[in-house]
Amino acid sequence: MEICIVHYGEIGVKGKNRIFFEKKLVENISRFAKAKRRFGWIEVEYREGIEDKLRKVPGIRYFGVGFKTELDLSAIESAVLKALPENFETFKISTSRRNKKFPLNSVEINKELGSVVVKKTGKKVDLENPDVTVWVEIGENFALVYSKRFEGIGGLPVGSAGKVVSLVSGGIDSPVASFLAMKRGCEVVVVHFFNKTLHSPEVRKKILKLAEKLAEYQGDLKLYMIPFEDVQMEIIRIVPPKLRMVVYRRSMVRMANLIAEKEGAKAIVTGDNISQVASQTLDNLNVIYSASKLAVLPPLLGFDKEEIISLAKKIGTYEISILPYEDCCSLMVAKHPETRANLELIEEFEEFEELEKNAVEKGEIIEIHS
């Protein structure tokens, strides 16, 4: 019977917390497959198409699809023969031996199994550039054998770090930032601010699509759609155009904090990237982030735009992000916004608390199931 042999990276070395991380990962995989914690790996029941799912689970470094056998050389030999694909000319056996009590060492096992394959199939060993590699792992209780190996996304299991509220705009950057937070073990609650009077149902569809894509990595995901127009009209009434962008962003950060309080989230995540646009100068980021009680984390801090785009393509958000949309943030702002906002000056304008509270209360909460 084929099984999936799941290996985690970093969580293997977290001392006492290790079991907590492992259990979290098992729990996350269990949402779509039967999974069991073993010594140093996780066993997952195989079914067709599961590769695509496992490839998206944060915390998995790599996994194989193959067989579990007894710790016995002849059983391992037949598993190796079963694991070989139909068509190949050259092969290599790659053994790792965690169980030092096993009578042969890894080099000896490679030789032994290699000669069996040569004898049975007539194919050649090629250690440099083989058509097929058969991995053999000698564990405490079982041996694992597989020739199909897939890279995961690494990181830590979602939920192991706690919750964050992630501001998602519909642009390219913020969905990637949300993904990176998930990859580091955060459970992400997505928040989008929109202008009900201006925005077509297209915006809603777009944000839903982005949230659904992100749910492929996280599992279930909560999306808050917050109507921003009342706050926005008041900002437009009071704040000069040059400063509006920064004030919008401060307001969003404050509302994100209200949502974080409801959700028990411990930080705010944004798609900010140093100096990419006018609102992202260090001076402005200081002013924007100082509106937050919780830490504001921008995972894209040091990325180049090309790097963000290529990651967006890899995770599948890019195609959705480039669909046309109106960002409420770009409404009624100066062509050349202030790049060095003055906090004291801005604080004089700000009396939006009631409106912000109301906006959050009016918000729609959408539960997305992966």
Binding site for Mg ion (CB under 5 A): 169, 171
Burial class for 283, CB neighbours closer than 10 Å (0-12, 13-18, 19+)? middle
- Residue whose CB is nearest to Mg ion in the complex, by number: 171
Question: Is position 252 an interface residue for ligand ATP (rule: CB under 6 A)?
Answer: yes
114, 163, 191, 353 from 263: Cα distances, Å? 56, 8, 12, 19
Residue 285 near which of ligand ATP, Mg ion, none (CB within 5-8 Å, type-dependent): none
Residues from 311 through 330 that contact ligand ATP (CB under 6 A) = 327-329
Which partner in Mg ion, ligand ATP, none is near 27 (CB below 5 to 8 A by kind)?
Answer: none
Contact present, 8 and 61 (Cβ < 8 Å): yes
Contact string 163-202 vs ligand ATP (x = CB under 6 A): ----xxx-xxxx----------------xxx---------
CB of residue 295 to Mg ion, shortest distance in Å: 22
Count the alpha carbons within 13 Å of 17 in the hemisphere toward its beta carbon: 11
Distance, CA of 117 to CA of 188 (rounded, Å)? 48
Residues 24-63 as x/- pattern, contact with ligand ATP by CB under 6 A = ----------------------------------------
How far is it, in rounded angstroms, from Cα 155 to Cα 185?
A: 7
Number of residues that bind ligand ATP (CB under 6 A): 21
Element (H, E) at 97: strand 90-97
Beta carbon of residue 177, minimum distance to ligand ATP (angstroms, whole number): 6
Which residues are CB-contacts of 333 (< 8 A; sequence separation ≥ 6)? 241, 244, 245, 248
259 binds ligand ATP (CB under 6 A): no
Q: Does 235 bind ligand ATP (CB under 6 A)?
A: no
Contact 208, 343 (CB under 8 A): no
Cβ at position 169, least distance to Mg ion in Å: 5
Specify the residue, 95 or 195, whose C-beta has the smaller distance to ligand ATP. 195
Q: How far is the CB of 321 from ligand ATP (least distance, A)?
A: 7
Closest approach of ligand ATP to the CB of residue 219, in Å: 22
Which tokens is 166 given?
A: 């992630």
Q: Which is nearer to ligand ATP, 160 or 284 (CB)?
A: 284
Q: Check residue 234 and report its DSSP letter.
A: H
Rounded-to-integer distance, Cα 108 and Cα 123, Å: 19
Rule CB under 6 A: choose which of 22, 137, 216, 272 binds ligand ATP.
272
Torsional sign, CA 315, 319, 322, 326: negative
Minimum CB–partner distance for residue 343 and ligand ATP (Å): 18
Confirm or reject binding of residue 271 to ligand ATP (CB under 6 A): yes
Those residues whose C-beta lies under 8 Å from the C-beta of residue 247, and which sit 6 or more positions away, are 235, 239, 346, 349, 350
Interface positions with ligand ATP (CB under 6 A): 167-169, 171-174, 191-193, 252, 270-273, 276-277, 279, 327-329
